[in-house]
Chains A and B, each alone.
Chain A
Amino acid sequence: MIAPIVPQSWYLPSKPHKFCPGCGHGIVLKALGEAIDELKIQDQAIFGCDIGCSLLSWDFFACDSTQTHHGRTTPVMVGIKRSRPELITIGYMGDGGGYSIGSQHLLNAAVRNEKVTLILVNNTNYGMTGGQMAPTTLPGQKTETSPYGRDPEVTGYPMMGPEFLAAVTADSAYIARGTVSKYKQLKKYIRSALKNQMEGKGFSFVEVLSTCPTNWRTNACQTWNFLEDEMEKQFPVGELKNPLGKGDK
């Protein structure tokens, strides 16, 4: 049997991983793994994960890692970075952990320009607990706690995280939104988010539009359509802030 080529920073004993078939997490973690390899930071990297599907990544990397509490990955990474600035802290969370219970920490870390790198995977629902509504659930989208479809009159419109963070951060912050449907671009954004921390510039954040066919109950075609058509319409992909300049390849 031929083993697939995987990043060196991936931890082989925990493979194959347990993410659902069709889940976008695998793609994000591959881009992150390749970025860690290319930037040669495997020894300095600290990987923190949240509760929810991101929890399945706790032993994903051959890097020092810690699982935290739901929504508390950001402050734990801040604590580590403030104590040991030479470490490269990478916080990994979902839309619930980042924009819901973790939103106050995200906001404050952003305002303080904490030199951490946060990757937030947005799949418009709380996947691990069975598909409840999330801050990024689209209007009209059915979830277990919006069984008749999300009504923006009652629960507001989807959270625009990178836009919100771009508005409150200093110029030295890096803010971007990528998608698992554009891998090269996603990896570029993750590399920039890591470099921004490595160069000591500031707060670095990448939201990634991702798929959850299990809770969306979609087949492959429907999954991709939802990601590329519906989600990208609501959540524009691109770099909102890049202090590293356009020259970074």
Chain B
Amino acid sequence: MLRIIGEPKKSFVTGNETAAWACLAAGADMMFGYPITPQNEIMHYWTRLAPKYRRGFLQTEDELSAGFTVCGSVQSGKKAFTATAGPGNVLMQEPFGMAEAMRLPLLAIIQQRGGPSSGTVVYSQQEVTLTTFGGNGEGMRIVYSTATHQEIYDYIIKGFNTAWKYRFPVFILGDGYQAKMREPLEMYDPEDKGIEMIKPFPLIGLEGHIGAGREPQHLCNIYSLEEELYEVVMKVAAEYESIKDIIVEYDEKNCDDADIIVVSHGVVSRAADDAVKILRAQGIKAGYFRPITLRPYPHKQLRAAIAKSGAKKLLIAESAYGQLDKLTKQEIFGETVKIENLFMPGVGIIDYDIINKVKSVL
């Protein structure tokens, strides 16, 4: 594959740019998108870089179209991606549903903004429910919640491979702050880290003559009989279950012996990390647990952390009104640990927000 970066190098970048460069390095062929703050720079950078590397781009008439054009592109065998936020994410659930149903390896970058409705253009973690279980399906999707620019880069490269290997739509869940923050990043071509990019393959527009060597491909996402649908859904679910343990990612610290475990994801986990360090230094036994994949959720690992730590409480901290809380509770159903909440919908959470809350509930 043509090298984009050359020698791995360190750059000072914003999150949106990182996403554009990562898609380029991962070999993405096409981007379809529509303007919505705070992800516009992904498009701005892609449109500047794409012609130099012979990649394609179209600004569509809206997000419905952007999602469906990505579906079409993926069906034809190209690595396509899109990016959106807020109300755009809501609209894209229709095409994302088609991707789930028809097993289309699309990749979408979601830069969460305040919700519901037009909310704010700034930041939140209020698209967790939407991104993990949006649409009228069963959540057969993979969601990586990033916290740093390095992760945006690494998980986009990994995400394209996850999508094309397992054929589930993959989401990189960021937010407006990550989109705009400036940080150092090490960019690299995948081969420099021993990563082989999976080649895309078409589901339609296959090679060969129809009737003389190959059959025509008939794809659908609707069924006549309830039993047919049952078979399809159960089969897809079984496949999803079988890969969960391979895909799941998480991070934990100080959970060998803790009175309370702080559970957070995305950019809030950076504040949680600092908070736990400070609490420990003050003699308070706090632990840190961060799901990196929200789908599939690392519930086995969280249950294990609760068990070995002896923690009596969890503190779920999020910039939303209970979306991570709800997701976590459903995944660790049966655990008797008491769950406390720090809900700050649409607002950034700093270490002292978490520290003060921990102290108030212990």
Q: How many residue pairs between the two chains, A and B, have CB atoms under 8 Å in the bound complex?
A: 49
| A133-B118 in contact (CB<8A) | no
**Which stretch of B29-37, B260-268, B334-342 is in the interface?**
B29-37
Interface residues of A, count at CB 8 A:
21
**Across the interface, which residues of B come within 8 angstroms of A129, CB to CB?**
35-37, 40
| B35-A126 in contact (CB<8A) | yes
**Across the interface, which residues of B come within 8 angstroms of A202, CB to CB?**
none
- Residues 147-185 of chain A, each 1 if its beta carbon lies under 8 Å from chain B, else 0: 110000001000000000000000000000000000000
Give me the interface of A with B, judged by CB distance under 8 Å.
51, 67, 69-71, 96, 100-101, 103, 126, 129-130, 132-133, 135, 144-148, 155
- Tell me, rounded to whole Å, the shortest Cβ–Cβ distance linking B115 to chain A: 12
Within the complex, which residue of A96, A103, A135, A146 is in contact with B35, where a contact is CB–CB below 8 Å? A96
- Tell me, rounded to whole Å, the shortest Cβ–Cβ distance linking B65 to chain A: 9
| A100-B43 in contact (CB<8A) | no
In the assembled complex, the Cα of A101 lies from the Cα of B34 at a distance in Å of: 9
Within the complex, which residue of A103, A130, A135, A147 is in contact with B47, where a contact is CB–CB below 8 Å? A147
**Which stretch of B56-64, B172-180, B289-297 is in the interface?**
B56-64
Q: 18 A-B pairs, CB-CB below 8 angstroms?
A: A69-B87, A69-B117, A69-B118, A100-B34, A100-B61, A101-B61, A103-B61, A129-B40, A132-B35, A132-B40, A132-B43, A144-B40, A144-B43, A145-B44, A145-B57, A148-B51, A155-B58, A155-B59
Chain A's closest residue to B44 (CB) is: A144
**Across the interface, which residues of A come within 8 angstroms of B118, CB to CB?**
51, 67, 69-70
| A133-B59 in contact (CB<8A) | yes
B48 within 8 A of A: yes
Is the contact region of chain B dominated by helix, strand, or loop, or is it mixed? mixed
| A100-B62 in contact (CB<8A) | yes
In the assembled complex, the Cα of A69 lies from the Cα of B87 at a distance in Å of: 8
| A130-B40 in contact (CB<8A) | yes
- Also in contact, A146 and B47, with CB within 8 A (given A51-B118, A126-B35): yes
- Residues 64-104 of chain B, each 1 if its beta carbon lies under 8 Å from chain A, else 0: 00000000000000000000000100000000000000000
**Across the interface, which residues of B come within 8 angstroms of A155, CB to CB?**
58-59
| B87-A70 in contact (CB<8A) | yes
| A101-B58 in contact (CB<8A) | no
In the assembled complex, the Cα of A155 lies from the Cα of B61 at a distance in Å of: 11
Chain B's closest residue to A72 (CB) is: B87
| A145-B43 in contact (CB<8A) | yes
- Tell me, rounded to whole Å, the shortest Cβ–Cβ distance linking B87 to chain A: 6
- Also in contact, A71 and B117, with CB within 8 A (given A130-B40, A145-B47, A148-B51): no
**Across the interface, which residues of B come within 8 angstroms of A103, CB to CB?**
61
**Across the interface, which residues of A come within 8 angstroms of B43, CB to CB?**
132, 144-145
In the assembled complex, the Cα of A162 lies from the Cα of B59 at a distance in Å of: 23
